[in-house]
Structure 1
Amino acid sequence: MTSVLSSLQLLIKCLMASIDMLFWTFCLLTFLQCVAGMIVSTLCRDYIENPEYPSVTRDEVYRYYGSFTRTFLTMFEILFANWAPSCRVLVDNVSEWFSIFFLLYRCIIGFAVLNVVNAVFVQQTMKTASFDEELAFKQKERDVVTYTNKVRRLFQTMDETGDGTLNFEEFSKLVTSPKLKFWMSQLELDYHDLLSLFEFLDNGDGQITLNEFIEGATRLRGQAK
């Protein structure tokens, strides 16, 4: 539950930090949509008003491009929704050259511009998250808990007797077992001398308890960094 609330808190902070960017993104997209819409609407005007063309097709074109508001809505549909019907109505009835216009429009606005906008929003989100001290502290706590659980599982795997301690014989399996060696590498525990590592983790009684193993692994990991 805490992680869910932390994610929600981060989301709200990122949205609040991106209000200015959201506003200018909306202004940019609105401007581009208006320009493209006026061009298309102007090119369709003669077809809509010419009585020589079938009224059914003229009504269909008018439904998408007959006024500023209709054209404006259609351009947003082309950019964010199903763009095929509004494109086909012009290509099939008015001119096939509209296919080039819509392909360029989709590639430039729908791909290039929107991807740049998405990248900027991602960068803003990462920046907000990196400067959030509370979030960084909670993430550090989660990392410690996750690391401790991994070390505990490694200890339990090595402790074949189940007495909660490791002697040197059990500990020496780190060298012979590929799985345990892989776990050690994943835990960022680098070692060259098995005996020295055992003495580093042991408090002098010849056995390593779970707490000693966790504390020693944490110290060894810190030295590696």
Structure 2
Amino acid sequence: MPKPKVWAEDIDEILRVISEEQAQLLQLAEEQHALFSRSVQFAFGRMERLDLLTRGGFGRHGMALCGASPLDCCATKDGNEDSSLQEVFQDVPDHADMLLDGHDQSTASHKMEAVASIASTSRTKSKKSNHSKPTAEDLLGLDNFIDRTKAWTDLLAGMLVLINSFVMLVELEVEGRAVGALIGMGDGPILDDVSPLFRTLDAVFVFVFLAELMLRIIMERCRFIYDVANWFDTLLVIAGLVDMFVILPMSEGAEGQNIVMLRMVRVLKCIRAIRLVRTFRFFRGLRVLVKACYCFLPSLGWSMVLLLVFMWMGTLVLGNLLQDFITDSANNFEDRVWIWNRYGTAYRAMYTLYEITFAGNWPTSARPVLEKVNQAYVIFFLIYITIIVFAAIRVISAVFLKDTLEAARNDDETLVIERLRNKQKYVQKLQEVFHAIGGSVDGLITEERLASILESPKALAYFQTLDLDVTETSALFSLLDNGDGEITQEEFIDGVLRCKGPARAIDQVALRADMKQLDAKISQITRALKLPNPRIES
């Protein structure tokens, strides 16, 4: 039975209305997609110019790097279109597998490989400059009870080494006064009266260092043998034990003519003085200086080779030219002896040029040659002093300074501590800024309050000193606010820390991933709206 005509006309009208609404929705989705694409392209262009050219703060659209979504970055003033788009996206499922396509994955992989390469190069340089480096667990703060105990043990050992060194200085002072009294150089104690006291103190320190060494072996176990400083400590402890149990008993029973045994006692005392080197590993400032000295050792070696070549050339020139003056009997004998003492042999001439090069007292060795021999030697000394003493020495000093600064920059522990200290100072400044801006009773910042503060050019300049661009107040407030219309101190500090500094590689990769995800959602909506009209059977 055919349907009534009225029902057929109503169905046609309904289909026509549905088609019009579907076309409008499709057109709106395409406009939103085009608007989103233009906004993202514009944001990427601004981001690349800021990151590659200025390397400074963020521009007006640079807030996308601060952790905000691309929708927030391209938000308009009224925000109606983006709010409606967000409502549409709430019902669309997430497609995690569509975040990055093959090209994007390749680009991200190349970026990560570049970052890893830079990090590997930095670690390689740091290994060259530091022979005793903290482990990765120490740098990440993943230390356990043994590591914490070892840190306190190292500090205690460093203090004991300083006390032992002070006792050795006092011992030397007392022994020197006693020896001076023996030769009639003032009053002093009797050597036999004070020696037992210092021997007892030395024995106490030897046993203390032995206990400290055993404790270190128990804590570090297999890692003990891989540290050169531990072998050095072991050598010092063994030398102290040999001095206490072997050398001292033999020297007490020996007669005064046994000079060899007495010299061995003095040598072992000198070795004990090397314990001061152990203090370098326990204090960060001293450790950085030692590592810097270790870093420029290759440059020092090649610098000495270069200077040795120049001094060798000068030795050959002066030695050969002055031989005629020394052998000429017509010259003054005292002048000939003076010239021979300083330039007569290769060894003497080389040592004299070494003094001229490093001691700075070159006039005392050069002027007598000009006055006693010939004024023509001024040409040699002018060339040598200008090229070697003035130019070469300063260039070598600059190389040492560069190596020292590089060693300080490549010290991992120093970098970690310095960055934590700088971050703490920066957070303190942000806290002061927050308390200065917060004008409400509860200490929160509203958008009106922030806008009124940023109208001042002085406030804008101060925010720029904090490496933060605040040219758009509404955009900055939307980045700092969590949506309740007020900014707390935690939100303010966390948001500024995210927005601080230039764009990073991880920010660019994250922005690209968000953009691909949103593009996939819009494409899905577009495909859903392009479905054919449902067929109604008559």
TM category (shorter chain) comes to 0.7 to 0.9
Q: State how far apart, in whole Å, the 1-side matches of 2:441 and 2:310 are.
A: 69
Q: State how far apart, in whole Å, the 2-side matches of 1:167 and 1:174 are.
A: 11
Aligned match for 1:88, one of 358, 363, 367 = 367
User: 5 Å matches for 1:140-159?
Assistant: 140-159=419-438
Instruction: Report the alpha carbon displacement of residue 60 of structure 1 after superposing the two structures with TM.
Output: 4.2
- Using the size of structure 1 for normalisation, the TM-score is 0.77
| Greater relative CO (CA pairs within 8 A, separation 6+) | 2
Question: What are structure 2's unaligned runs of at least 5 residues?
Answer: 1-281, 505-538
Q: State how far apart, in whole Å, the 1-side matches of 2:304 and 2:335 are.
A: 33
Instruction: Report what 1:110 is aligned to.
Output: 389
Instruction: Report what 1:50 is aligned to.
Output: 328
User: 5 Å matches for 1:1-225?
Assistant: 5-80=283-358, 81-125=360-404, 127-129=406-408, 131-159=410-438, 164-168=443-447, 170-222=449-501, 224=503
Q: State how far apart, in whole Å, the 2-side matches of 1:163 and 1:57 are.
A: 92
1:59-98 CA-to-partner distances (Å, cap 9, x unmatched) read 5434533444432222122212222222222223222222
Residue 43 of structure 1 aligns to which amino acid in structure 2?
L
1:86-123 CA-to-partner distances (Å, cap 9, x unmatched) read 22222232222222211211232234433443444445
Q: State how far apart, in whole Å, the 2-side matches of 1:70 and 1:162 are.
A: 84
Q: Is the 8 A contact 2:451 2:473 kept in 1?
A: yes
Q: Helix, strand or coil: the match of 2:476?
A: helix
Instruction: Report the alpha carbon displacement of residue 156 of structure 1 after superposing the two structures with TM.
Output: 4.2
Instruction: Report the alpha carbon displacement of residue 217 of structure 1 after superposing the two structures with TM.
Output: 0.9
Residues 71, 222 of structure 1: CA spacing in aligned structure 2 closer, same or farther, 3 A cutoff? Answer: same
Instruction: Report the alpha carbon displacement of residue 218 of structure 1 after superposing the two structures with TM.
Output: 0.4
Q: Helix, strand or coil: the match of 1:211?
A: helix
Residue 463 of structure 2 aligns to which amino acid in structure 1?
M
Residues 182, 56 of structure 1: CA spacing in aligned structure 2 closer, same or farther, 3 A cutoff? Answer: farther
**% identity of equivalent residues:** 32
Q: Helix, strand or coil: the match of 2:375?
A: coil
Q: Is the 8 A contact 1:154 1:183 kept in 2?
A: no
Instruction: Report the alpha carbon displacement of residue 190 of structure 1 after superposing the two structures with TM.
Output: 1.0
Q: Helix, strand or coil: the match of 1:185?
A: helix
Q: Helix, strand or coil: the match of 1:97?
A: helix
Q: State how far apart, in whole Å, the 1-side matches of 2:310 and 2:495 are.
A: 61
Q: State how far apart, in whole Å, the 2-side matches of 1:22 and 1:201 are.
A: 53
Q: Helix, strand or coil: the match of 2:469?
A: coil
Residues 55, 114 of structure 1: CA spacing in aligned structure 2 closer, same or farther, 3 A cutoff? Answer: same
Residues 53, 155 of structure 1: CA spacing in aligned structure 2 closer, same or farther, 3 A cutoff? Answer: farther
Residues 40, 175 of structure 1: CA spacing in aligned structure 2 closer, same or farther, 3 A cutoff? Answer: same
Instruction: Report the alpha carbon displacement of residue 42 of structure 1 after superposing the two structures with TM.
Output: 2.4
Question: What are structure 1's unaligned runs of at least 5 residues?
Answer: none
Residue 45 of structure 1 aligns to which amino acid in structure 2?
Q
Deviates more, 1:190-199 or 1:66-75: 66-75
1:170-219 CA-to-partner distances (Å, cap 9, x unmatched) read 43354333332222112110122112212322334444333322211101
Q: Is the 8 A contact 2:480 2:491 kept in 1?
A: yes
Instruction: Report what 2:120 is aligned to.
Output: none
For these two proteins, the number of residue pairs brought into alignment is 222
Residues 182, 132 of structure 1: CA spacing in aligned structure 2 closer, same or farther, 3 A cutoff? Answer: same
Q: Based on CA coordinates, which of the two structures has the bigger radius of gyration?
A: 2
Q: State how far apart, in whole Å, the 1-side matches of 2:312 and 2:489 are.
A: 67
Q: State how far apart, in whole Å, the 2-side matches of 1:158 and 1:118 are.
A: 50
Q: Helix, strand or coil: the match of 2:482?
A: coil
Q: Is the 8 A contact 1:201 1:212 kept in 2?
A: yes
Deviates more, 1:159-168 or 1:22-31: 159-168
- Using the size of structure 2 for normalisation, the TM-score is 0.36
